[in-house]
Chain A
Amino acid sequence: MQNYFVFDLNKCVGCEACVVACTLENGLQDPTPWRNIHTYNEAHLPGLPLFHFSLACNHCEQAPCMQNCPANAFSRDAASGAVIHHPEKCIGCKYCTWACPFDAPKYNSISGVVEKCTFCTHRVQENQKPSCAQLCPTGALDFSFADLTLDESEASSPVKVKVGSRIHTLALRNTKGPEQDLDLFLPHSLNKPNKKHFRKIKALHEWPLIVFTLLVTALVSIKTSFIQLPDAGNYYLFGFLLFAALMSTLHLGKKQRAWRALLNVKSSWLSREIAILAMFGLLMLIQLFVTTVPYWLFAFVGLLLLFSIDRLYDLATWQWPIKFHSAQTLWIGLSAIAMLNAWIYLFGLVALFRFILGFWHNYKLPENKNLFLFIGRLMLLTTVVGMFLRLPFFVLLIVFLAGEIMQRIGFYQALQVASPQNDLKIKGIHN
């Protein structure tokens, strides 16, 4: 890959001239600088180094933002290698801000779309370094017009994700911080690094997504189970679908461009999800107005839909050991189908599988333990027990639904995607 940033951790003093250089060069308005300084050990814990990472977009060869954008709002500038974001194509879904391990795309709540570093393509074209690299007063951030191999890129990547980032990092020499008189400070046992993770995704902000995914799961479960619905029921269910679709657009910065979400079926699970949802809706319409649709077709498309929803959150697997989570919509859907069909043993089996997943996550990633997930699982257990005790269906259904809502909220609360704010800290401690 031609053109890349060179960053020397030993030379950076965190002065933020690069941030100012970028802001002025690109005429940015408050509040979203495209470049940030990420500081490890800002609290100054003795015995740990404090260092800074200056990061904007690293114009990755396998750019996660571009791959995941449902609206094809990113393109690659062939001459410079830059990943360019086109605001006029952006729907403001923020999915790229989840996907990027460097936090390069910045959502601007005023414009309703994402914006990001352009590699100063206008300068690079004229053989000038990007403004940030040109103006770094200590020479810590530099730019090379040469070639960087994927191996070199991965060997020095500032984050764990391997995406072919155009940055070559020179490692820190002093990895312990200066020797100090430790008697002056709190004993080390009282003074542990704050392991509280920064969360890019906040469940409270993503409530439209929680509602959307639960509604769709419910819809698929009903259509995929053998319960008999009155004729009018299918009309209501279609209304249900429309409502869910409307919910999903609520979190978009540019709602009128929602249709663009279909444009990247080739590589974005978000586009695929929307496409399969549309297919499912089409089947419902055919059933309502044209002809009977076979049950297996609903089941197939429905489960595919749930599967596609879950794949959206594969981004999070950078933090999770496996791509399975107990509160994924597919498992919620299977539980619901088993319940609606009163298949007690299948229900118990699926629940058991989900409990195992839950335990495993708590064991592997204790920092992702979550109260909502815990309560939700407890309610699922109650439902299983209740089923075997033959408690009234209606009561069980209520407990089950409440439990699944809890689990889904917990799922978003525990959702962790790559961010330099977490990854740099981890790197700092282990190296």
Chain B
Amino acid sequence: MIFFNTACPRNCYSTCSFKVGIEGGKVKLVEPQPLNRATPEGICLKGLSYVERANSKERILNPLIRKNGVFVPIDWEAALTLIADKLTSFKENYGSHSVLFYAASGTSGLLNDVNLNFWRMFGGTTRVYGNLCWPAGLEATHLTLGENKHNVAWDIENANLIVLWGKNPAETNIHQMIPIEKALAKGARMVVIDPRRTQSAEHADLLIQPKPGTDALLALAVAKLLIEKKQTDQAFIMNHVLGFDAFKQEVLQVNIVEAARVTGVPLNLIEKLAHLMGTIQPMTLVAGYGMQRFSNGGQTIRCLLALNIITGNIGKPGACWHYADLQGDVFSKLKEPESYFPDPKADEPFRRVIPTARLGETMLKLSNPEIKMAWVERGNPLAQNPDSLKIREAFRQLEFKVVVEQFMTDTALEADLILPAKNMFEQSDIISSYWNPYVQLKQKVVEPAGEVKPETEIYYLLAKKLAFAEDLIQQNIPEPDDASIEAWLEKELKPIEELSLDKLKKGPVLAPRMQEIAFSDYRFSTPSGKIELYSEQAKTRWNVSELPGYEAISENDKSNFPYQLMTPNTKNRIHSQFGNLQVIKVLDPFPYATISEIDARQKNIRPGNKIKVFNEVGSLELKAKIDASLRPGVVVIYNGYWHQEGACPNSLTKGQETDMGHGTAFHDTRVDFCLVSRK
């Protein structure tokens, strides 16, 4: 067996380095790569399952065309000719914006940028803006600190107080538990704030369970107590913070008793949290992405971040605002979240953008031109975007849909033409992480299975088919052979002298010029050069208050649908990926909704009963799991279940944007549920 260094390109914090063992041209074994200090012990169960995923019998290995409702194989030549004909005809009859190009985060890599080069040559398409995941928090951090970075992943070991606010690393970022455990073993205290009693909470001293969507008010109440007790870091505030006095005025208005009522957190626990934050230094506050998927998500994150700021927990070992670290991305000119925003200066080809948060409804409404064709790659919008049934409705009205996929997902099922997608072992590419600070190469280690062609090759062949100018093709799309791909990647690495393909082949490389302790130079690239508790941009860009504040999420439908739906991630999948594999199915055989014991008793529901979860958007039937420590009033369905399993929670979510950053307010969704049957 020969081992190669590689790294996992999924949309996941950890972005593990690992070694892959190849024998007989097949992926046989996955082993740890200790050179990555953030993921030294090895990859998670999903990563291990690559051995099955890469060799799965269910993988799509050749182009498939829908004929009379069933998919039949079609050869590449015919498939490409068909696509070229359709593209030409739609462009001639309706303009190139009648084509929707949709790509998501299924596989990361620099080569993904080739797709836009192709579509630009084509004359442009309609594209989506915004993001399903984390932009509200990114923008909140960006407004406040100027950029999104945090201390290196292993620095949490140095914290004496760890606050996991809405994050459950034990499931979603398992490798973060290593430095957390090191800190705890040394005597650090840990608080988890989450309506659920998560696996991460099992390692904590204190679990605070606010009503979903009220985290901002909880943070403001704590801030008030800290200010009143003079447990703030005055010197830090004086030197580095803009707008503390205004913030203080605002915060002192908060009525703590009222805050306890609204958040559902008893006064003594609010005081306890404030006491811990006021007396223990240094503190790392790790904010998750779930609680910013509310219509007040950006402001919520600003309120949380304010706690780091007023206690001076920024720029020191163990003192950190831990949301996202984009220091590893040394390639992008425009980083997230700004890359998600519609660009007012976009030129003609890409001037037309539609929000991913409201994809279905916008597609249905678009005119002049209407969308006639869609091209989807690296994504599964028919399962993962909110109000996914409306997206399906919109898709079904299109004349031609191309989906590039490895497996028969909900989106692939609706395609007219499926092109087999490469997997991570079949083409080299360079990736970075939003949690660990490494630049990594995922190497090509096997030839593409069956008739699989990497996207770059598909675009190359399609460009030829559409008879784009040769010199343009050469400039914009790499030739399909391995040497050309490597040359293309070398070209991308060239501006960064510390990086080269040879170096990356030996293992992960720390991003050049990254700060181990973020903001240790106390330079903030905000308009004022200071930490902006008071942000003019918040007002001008997003029309929210200049100060962090709490706005209740929409409560008008509370009477009809009394329960808050949460759709967090599970350890068993990355969004809608991996759940179809046998090794995962054995561990997680059927979809379920988790409800609290009190709610279950009220509705006479017992463990394993089938329940119906419903609201004005749609309904789902699935098994009930009963949790004695889940906050009552909350229903939890993991995101990533497929419609094919009958359990996609986006049958229930509304298409709605967050207050800032063009994120998606999945968690504003309210539902009700009832018993269907005992089995």
Q: Find chain A residues with CB under 8 A from B627 CB.
A: 43-44
- Pick from B130-138, B197-205, B296-304 the stretch touching chain A: B197-205
Given contacts A16-B587, A23-B586, A180-B209, whether A137 and B192 have CB atoms under 8 Å apart is no
Query: In the bound complex, do residue B51 and residue A24 qualify as a contact, i.e. CB atoms below 8 Å apart?
Result: yes
Extra inter-chain contacts (4) besides given A19-B587, A137-B42, A137-B175, CB under 8 Å? A13-B200, A135-B31, A135-B42, A178-B205
Query: In the bound complex, do residue A24 and residue B209 qualify as a contact, i.e. CB atoms below 8 Å apart?
Result: no
A24 to B201, CA, bound (A): 30
A10 to B187, CA, bound (A): 13
Judge whether A17 is part of the interface by a CB distance below 8 angstroms: yes
Q: Find chain A residues with CB under 8 A from B209 CB.
A: 180-181, 184
A181 to B598, CA, bound (A): 14
Query: In the bound complex, do residue A178 and residue B206 qualify as a contact, i.e. CB atoms below 8 Å apart?
Result: yes
Q: Find chain A residues with CB under 8 A from B181 CB.
A: 10-11, 138
A179 to B178, CA, bound (A): 22
Query: In the bound complex, do residue B48 and residue A135 qualify as a contact, i.e. CB atoms below 8 Å apart?
Result: yes
Which residues of A are interface residues toward B (Cβ below 8 A)? Answer: 10-11, 13-17, 19-21, 23-24, 30-31, 33, 43-46, 49-51, 134-139, 173-174, 177-181, 183-186, 191
Query: In the bound complex, do residue A46 and residue B629 qualify as a contact, i.e. CB atoms below 8 Å apart?
Result: yes
Of all chain B residues, the one with the shortest Cβ separation from A33 is: B586
Judge whether B479 is part of the interface by a CB distance below 8 angstroms: no
A137 to B200, CA, bound (A): 15
The digit string for B586-601, where 1 denotes a CB below 8 A from any CB of A, is 1100000000111001
CB distance from B578 to the nearest CB of A (A): 11
Judge whether B571 is part of the interface by a CB distance below 8 angstroms: yes
Q: Find chain B residues with CB under 8 A from A20 CB.
A: 45, 48-49, 583-584, 587
A155 to B51, CA, bound (A): 38
The digit string for B147-187, where 1 denotes a CB below 8 A from any CB of A, is 00000000000000000000000110011011001001100
Query: In the bound complex, do residue B44 and residue A174 qualify as a contact, i.e. CB atoms below 8 Å apart?
Result: no
Q: Find chain B residues with CB under 8 A from A181 CB.
A: 208-209, 265-266, 269
Query: In the bound complex, do residue A180 and residue B203 qualify as a contact, i.e. CB atoms below 8 Å apart?
Result: no
Query: In the bound complex, do residue A174 and residue B586 qualify as a contact, i.e. CB atoms below 8 Å apart?
Result: no
Query: In the bound complex, do residue B52 and residue A24 qualify as a contact, i.e. CB atoms below 8 Å apart?
Result: yes
Query: Can you list 13 A-B pairs, Cβ within 8 angstroms, ordered by A?
Result: A13-B174, A15-B171, A20-B587, A24-B48, A44-B628, A50-B197, A134-B31, A135-B31, A138-B174, A138-B175, A173-B184, A179-B207, A185-B597
Q: Find chain A residues with CB under 8 A from B292 CB.
A: none
Of all chain A residues, the one with the shortest Cβ separation from B48 is: A20
Given contacts A20-B45, A137-B39, whether A15 and B174 have CB atoms under 8 Å apart is yes
Q: Find chain B residues with CB under 8 A from A191 CB.
A: 597, 628
Judge whether B342 is part of the interface by a CB distance below 8 angstroms: no
CB distance from B571 to the nearest CB of A (A): 5
Query: In the bound complex, do residue A178 and residue B628 qualify as a contact, i.e. CB atoms below 8 Å apart?
Result: no
Query: In the bound complex, do residue B177 and residue A184 qualify as a contact, i.e. CB atoms below 8 Å apart?
Result: no
Q: Find chain B residues with CB under 8 A from A174 CB.
A: 202-205
Contact of B170 among A13, A179, A180 (CB under 8 A): A13
Contact of B630 among A14, A31, A44, A183 (CB under 8 A): A44
Interface size of B by CB at 8 A reads 57
Query: In the bound complex, do residue A10 and residue B203 qualify as a contact, i.e. CB atoms below 8 Å apart?
Result: yes
Query: In the bound complex, do residue B205 and residue A137 qualify as a contact, i.e. CB atoms below 8 Å apart?
Result: no
Interface of B is mostly: mixed
CB distance from B620 to the nearest CB of A (A): 23
**Minimum-distance CB pairs A-B, first 7:** A44-B629, A178-B207, A13-B170, A17-B45, A20-B45, A178-B204, A20-B48
Query: In the bound complex, do residue B202 and residue A43 qualify as a contact, i.e. CB atoms below 8 Å apart?
Result: no
Query: In the bound complex, do residue B185 and residue A10 qualify as a contact, i.e. CB atoms below 8 Å apart?
Result: yes
CB distance from B516 to the nearest CB of A (A): 22
Query: In the bound complex, do residue A185 and residue B629 qualify as a contact, i.e. CB atoms below 8 Å apart?
Result: yes
Judge whether B30 is part of the interface by a CB distance below 8 angstroms: yes
Query: In the bound complex, do residue A49 and residue B202 qualify as a contact, i.e. CB atoms below 8 Å apart?
Result: yes
A134 to B34, CA, bound (A): 11
A181 to B273, CA, bound (A): 13
Q: Find chain A residues with CB under 8 A from B170 CB.
A: 13-15
Query: In the bound complex, do residue B583 and residue A24 qualify as a contact, i.e. CB atoms below 8 Å apart?
Result: yes
Judge whether B632 is part of the interface by a CB distance below 8 angstroms: yes
Of all chain A residues, the one with the shortest Cβ separation from B572 is: A16
CB distance from A371 to the nearest CB of B (A): 23
CB distance from B47 to the nearest CB of A (A): 8
A46 to B203, CA, bound (A): 14
Which residues of B are interface residues toward A (Cβ below 8 A)? Answer: 16, 30-32, 39, 41-45, 48-49, 51-52, 170-171, 174-175, 177-178, 181, 184-185, 192, 197, 199-209, 264-266, 269, 571, 582-584, 586-587, 596-598, 601, 626-632
Of all chain A residues, the one with the shortest Cβ separation from B582 is: A30
Query: In the bound complex, do residue A13 and residue B177 qualify as a contact, i.e. CB atoms below 8 Å apart?
Result: yes
Q: Find chain B residues with CB under 8 A from A138 CB.
A: 41, 174-175, 177-178, 181
A10 to B188, CA, bound (A): 14
CB distance from A18 to the nearest CB of B (A): 9
Of all chain A residues, the one with the shortest Cβ separation from B272 is: A179
A173 to B182, CA, bound (A): 13
Q: Find chain A residues with CB under 8 A from B629 CB.
A: 44-46, 180, 185
Contact of B206 among A179, A183, A185 (CB under 8 A): A179
Q: Find chain A residues with CB under 8 A from B204 CB.
A: 174, 178
Of all chain B residues, the one with the shortest Cβ separation from A51 is: B202
Q: Find chain B residues with CB under 8 A from A184 CB.
A: 209, 264, 631-632
Of all chain A residues, the one with the shortest Cβ separation from B626 is: A43
Query: In the bound complex, do residue B586 and residue A15 qualify as a contact, i.e. CB atoms below 8 Å apart?
Result: no
CB distance from B159 to the nearest CB of A (A): 17
Q: Specify which of B170, B199, B571, B629 lies most central, judged by the most chain A CB atoms within 10 Å of its CB.
A: B629
Q: Find chain B residues with CB under 8 A from A45 CB.
A: 628-629
Query: In the bound complex, do residue A134 and residue B174 qualify as a contact, i.e. CB atoms below 8 Å apart?
Result: no
A20 to B44, CA, bound (A): 9
Q: Find chain B residues with CB under 8 A from A11 CB.
A: 177-178, 181
Q: Find chain B residues with CB under 8 A from A177 CB.
A: 202
Query: In the bound complex, do residue A21 and residue B41 qualify as a contact, i.e. CB atoms below 8 Å apart?
Result: no
Q: Find chain B residues with CB under 8 A from A135 CB.
A: 30-32, 42-43, 48
Q: Find chain B residues with CB under 8 A from A186 CB.
A: 597-598, 601, 628
Query: In the bound complex, do residue A30 and residue B52 qualify as a contact, i.e. CB atoms below 8 Å apart?
Result: no
A13 to B41, CA, bound (A): 14
A354 to B282, CA, bound (A): 67
Q: Find chain B residues with CB under 8 A from A173 CB.
A: 184-185
CB distance from A136 to the nearest CB of B (A): 6
CB distance from A138 to the nearest CB of B (A): 5
A16 to B626, CA, bound (A): 21
Query: In the bound complex, do residue A136 and residue B177 qualify as a contact, i.e. CB atoms below 8 Å apart?
Result: no
A185 to B204, CA, bound (A): 19
Q: Find chain A residues with CB under 8 A from B177 CB.
A: 11, 13, 138
Query: In the bound complex, do residue A185 and residue B48 qualify as a contact, i.e. CB atoms below 8 Å apart?
Result: no
Of all chain B residues, the one with the shortest Cβ separation from A172 is: B202
Query: In the bound complex, do residue A21 and residue B48 qualify as a contact, i.e. CB atoms below 8 Å apart?
Result: yes
Q: Find chain A residues with CB under 8 A from B203 CB.
A: 10, 174
Q: Find chain B residues with CB under 8 A from A19 CB.
A: 45, 587
Of all chain A residues, the one with the shortest Cβ separation from B201 is: A178
A33 to B587, CA, bound (A): 10
Query: In the bound complex, do residue B49 and residue A185 qualify as a contact, i.e. CB atoms below 8 Å apart?
Result: no
A179 to B209, CA, bound (A): 11
Q: Find chain A residues with CB under 8 A from B630 CB.
A: 44
Q: Find chain B residues with CB under 8 A from A185 CB.
A: 596-598, 628-629, 632
Query: In the bound complex, do residue A15 and residue B207 qualify as a contact, i.e. CB atoms below 8 Å apart?
Result: no
Q: Specify which of A15, A134, A178, A185 lies most central, judged by the most chain B CB atoms within 10 Å of its CB.
A: A178
Of all chain A residues, the one with the shortest Cβ separation from B50 is: A24
Given contacts A20-B48, A135-B48, whether A180 and B30 have CB atoms under 8 Å apart is no
CB distance from B110 to the nearest CB of A (A): 27
Q: Specify which of B32, B45, B571, B601 lies most central, judged by the most chain A CB atoms within 10 Å of its CB.
A: B45
A181 to B16, CA, bound (A): 36
Of all chain A residues, the one with the shortest Cβ separation from B581 is: A20
A135 to B204, CA, bound (A): 25
Q: Find chain B residues with CB under 8 A from A23 CB.
A: 583, 586
CB distance from B304 to the nearest CB of A (A): 20
CB distance from B43 to the nearest CB of A (A): 6
A45 to B628, CA, bound (A): 5
Q: Find chain B residues with CB under 8 A from A21 CB.
A: 48
